[in-house]
Amino acid sequence: MNDGCQWRKYGQKVSKGNPCPRAYYRCTVAPLCPVRKQVQRCAEDMSILITTYEGTHNHPLPIAATAMASTTSAAACMLTSGSTSAPRLSGISAPSSSTTAYINPHGPSHFYLQNQLISPSSNSHPTITLDLTNKYNSSNFAPSAPRYPPAPTTFNFSSSIESNSMPSWTSACSSTSSQPQPYNNKSTAHVYSSLNQAYWQRAATSALPPPAPNNMSTDTIARAITSDPSFQSALAAAITSYVGARSNDANANGASNYGSSRYLDRSSSLGSARQGGLMLLQPPMPVVVSGPKSVSGSPEDDMEQAD
DNA sequence: CGCTTTTGACCGGCGC
DNA sequence: GCGCCGGTCAAAAGCG
């Protein structure tokens, strides 16, 4: 998928435990930009794409990337080091990474799963983002540039868990893969807490960064998240809350700077979770609902949201 | 012609 | 020390 940045593929490798090759990309926006991106399909569900970002951009990001990050936060991790907000964040030099998993929109829903880790000391929260938009169809689901900027229908579940305990569903999650493989142990762990809503809610009050267990794979996580009843419950609650909120402020938020009739058409109908909007669940607030994000608006404002 | 992708080789970390 | 494995390099091929 197009995330607004320019990437050059520099390698491809089949990793152990997953027949699908992992592709390695390097940011080409700037000659010396150290940011890397890895893309791999989930071994257990080929419709899931797992993308891992690593590194810190040393250049201003394209507007498209800024918009992307502001809505899905897929690139939020990258953006936190991007110079669109450079005055505030230019000092960040710690390695950053994020993991995303896309689920084929041909299915009943279009998931966008993300885990991100900027640095242990940062205030960022691991997130699960469900992108329920219709912006991808069968012709452009394959990596290519979507015609429009990413639509703002994003359900963002953030969590933080104590370092001295693990979610109770860890065993169940592991059972989905007899031999969990750390396809990527840089940023896979933090999603776990999001699978247990109760745990997540408890953890919402914790200020500690989550631990980084390294014995589970991202595709296992993605699979577990999307099948976990707790997650589904959280999603249902989120959608319910979202629809209700949209009923109240659809007019206020619907006229976004997207200026796209396509988006406006979506936002005019509230009967489906695929419609536009943005929901954030992020500590300390159990549920925060906000309207569509602006693409052409101030990147600074977007970054405030991304943070 | 310049840029990107492909792909086998190479390298370093890690476990035994 | 050896082998495995993930990540990167770089030459060749592809493409517009």
pLDDT tens, position by position, A186-211: 333 223 222 223 223 333 333 333 33
> CA(A269)–C1'(C6) in Å?
47
A285: CB partners within 8 A, 6+ apart: A204
Tell me how far apart the alpha carbons of residues A278 and A209 are, in angstroms, rounded to a whole number.
Answer: 25
> CA(A241)–C1'(C6) in Å?
43
pLDDT of residue A11: 92
Closest by CA to A274, choosing from A103, A102, A153, is A153
Range 19-48, chain A: CB under 7 Å to any strand B atom: 23, 28
- pLDDT of A256 above 70: no
Torsion (CA) A156, A157, A163, A167 in degrees, nearest 10? -150
> CA(A1)–C1'(B1) in Å?
28
Give nucleotides in strand B with any atom < 7 A to a protein C-beta: 3-9
CA distances from A97 to A16, A32, A203, A236 (A): 22, 18, 22, 28
- pLDDT of A43 above 50: yes
Beta bridge partners of residue A113, listed in sequence order: A101
pLDDT of residue A192: 28
